[in-house]
Structure 1
């Protein structure tokens, strides 16, 4: 009899503990969500640049004028990566402008000061965003497109689908082949658990990562402070989680191959110390995009866009200035 009582007591104890843990988990989730500010016109007022309304929401963008010698400038569009918005390009703007590039930067949906729509953050979303943004700016000629990290995958996807719109494709540590996503990604991908982890712990984890020495760079010396601003508002962490679940970060071999078949000129720049997107992925790109050229930056990390802006911008300026005969492309697919 005492043994039965003991089993019942233990069962009740475990049940009570489980209920308490569930209440605590729900409470922490609600508290984390409640602490977020609404992303509205007051939030947008903090942003530099301008806004345009596209199909999926308002997009924050800015033009940086060319400072060339009077010749017609090239239009160059810069596409940032997974979590760090358009200020990441700070170190490249002046060199590109001096080389007579008219530069368009913007925040991907879910990042910076662009809207955070309640849709799957997949490749089609970001492709549509870039296509509609160019249309809204009355850009009808082929442009240079530069993508950094996940932005490289977006730029590649865009070029594969709309090769007639891309003059040249610049890639900086581009995603699209296997990347080092970290040990926590499988947990974040899990329904319910992933939502709780991102809402309750995501802010702290991301800020800790952004504060590491590997993510520092002289072009954006206050990057952790800038990075934190977008996290104040509802939708940022949700958008990152949706991207992790829906964007083919390591699965774009077909798109790279289509770029190769379209013969769009490609330059890929890597830091040889990149621990996020392995520099050995350059070999995989070369196999399916044979026209691609490669530049390796000695000692560079995944942060080369803003930690080594002189070398990155010099490689891009040289690449964009090289004469070539652009191929004739079919209509967008």
Structure 2
């Protein structure tokens, strides 16, 4: 290979790193821009906030692969009206939380959740709500803490069949080459999906702009790829069978038109936990927490009839 070709190859290989350096670092100055609060936990700073009455029954909300805690803000207003005290937080590598390196496995995320609960002094039982990948995280936390889990609410939960595009599938399966391709190609795919959200009804203001902001933050892409490999490649059968055995009440809310977590996933959960209750929202896709907020709130209200204090 000629010197020119070698230099060109090195420059091409270094493009993802060069792009990453141009993104906003997650440092103290970055955190000063954030609403809410921060906890310095064992794996890094975690951004979180409380919504609702101090004496309300606690509901902890875990978001999905690419949408930080703001995804819950529209729905949280309804949960607060039901009497819940709602805790929302950003998973590592999303929103305003740090983006520590390392495999983002279910254990990685459940440790973050356990650290945050300990930081906030939450030792009593609670309701856990998980959206998309957050549903898988919530289920894994639940099998380690069935006595603390009052009930589990799942919104389009992952772990029963997750649809990803061909680029993401290739990148998940192939290290090195997959890393390079993901950092170069995924932002375009992500931006296209985010812009499409701008035309949908939303209970979260400027959700498209909030999603696009993730692409400008250092560690986001690396974290998403690590989660695809470490968490979303695994199914949650063992967790849900254990939750059923422990008699933890589970309700799942699905979007009939969801193409990310197809409705057939409902059948797998029903097989693993025959006591789980299901609600299907017509016309809803994968963004149901912010596009069909009132219907989701109604499903939670009808299924659980509010918090039990």
Bucket of the pairwise TM-score, normalised by the shorter protein: over 0.9
Q: Residue 27 of structure 1: CA displacement?
A: 4.5
The equivalent residue for 2:41 is 54
Aligned equivalent of 1:145 = 128
Q: Does 1:164 align with 2:151?
A: no
Match of 1:7 in 2: none
Gaps of 5+ in 2: none
Q: Do 2:58 and 2:86's aligned partners in 1 also have CA atoms closer than 8 Å?
A: yes
Residues 58-69 of structure 1: matches in 2 within 5 Å? 58-66=45-53
**How far did 1:115 drift?**
0.8
Give 1:263's match in structure 2, choosing from 236, 247, 272: 247
The match for 1:211 is 195
Is 1:128 matched with 2:111? yes
Contact 1:80 1:88 in 2 (8 A): yes
Q: Is the 8 A contact 1:76 1:145 kept in 2?
A: yes
Note if contact 1:169-1:266 (Cα within 8 Å) is conserved in structure 2: yes
Q: Which has the larger radius of gyration?
A: 1
Distance 1:119 1:24, change over 3 A: closer
Unaligned runs of 5+ residues in structure 1 are 1-11, 325-333
RMSD of aligned residue pairs (Cα, Å):
2.2
1:228–1:213 Cα change, 3 Å: closer
Report Cα offsets for 1:276-314 as digits up to 9, x if no partner.
001111111111112100000011101111000001011
Kept in 1, the 8 Å contact 2:83–2:307? The answer is: no
Q: Aligned partners of 1:161 and 1:217: how far apart in 2?
A: 37
- Report the Cα distance in structure 1 between the residues aligned to 2:43 and 2:73, rounded to whole angstroms: 26
Judged with a 3 Å threshold, the aligned counterparts in structure 2 of structure 1 residues 215 and 180 are, in CA distance, closer, same or farther, namely: farther
Cα deviation, residue 249, structure 1: 4.2
Is the partner of 2:258 in helix, strand or coil?
coil
Q: Which of residues 193, 196, 204 is equivalent to 2:177?
A: 193
Deviation (angstroms), 1:258: 0.6
Paired with 1:145 and 1:42, the residues of 2 have a C-alpha distance of: 31
Residue in structure 2 matching 1:183, options 147, 162, 166: 166
Q: Report the more deviating stretch, 309-318 or 48-57.
A: 309-318
Shift of 1:30: 3.7
- What is the CA-CA distance between 1:274 and the residue it aligns to? 0.5
Counterpart among 22, 34, 50 of residue 35 in structure 1 = 22
Asked if residue 253 in structure 1 is aligned to residue 237 in structure 2, the reply is yes
CA 1:234–1:186 in 2, change beyond 3 Å: closer, same or farther? same
CA contact (8 A) 1:173 1:277 kept: yes
User: Is residue 111 of structure 1 aligned with residue 126 of structure 2?
Assistant: no
Tell me the TM-score normalised to structure 2 length. Answer: 0.93
Q: Distance in 1 between matches of 2:78 and 2:233?
A: 29
Residue-by-residue CA offset, 1:62-81 (whole Å, 9 max, x unaligned): 000239xxxx5211011000
Taking structure 1 as the reference length, the TM-score comes to: 0.86
- Offset of 1:220 from its aligned partner? 2.1
Deviation, structure 1 residue 323 = 8.6
How far apart, CA to CA, are the structure 2 residues paired with 1:101 and 1:187? 42
Map of 2:270 onto structure 1: 286
Q: Residue 121 of structure 1 aligns to a residue in which SS?
A: coil
2 CA distance for matches of 1:215 and 1:292?
34
Work out the CA distance in 1 between the residues paired with 2:176 and 2:13.
11
CA deviations on 1:80-134 (whole Å, 9 max, x unpaired) are 0001100001211111111110000000111111110112111001111111111
Distance between the aligned counterparts of 1:29 and 1:131, measured in 2? 33
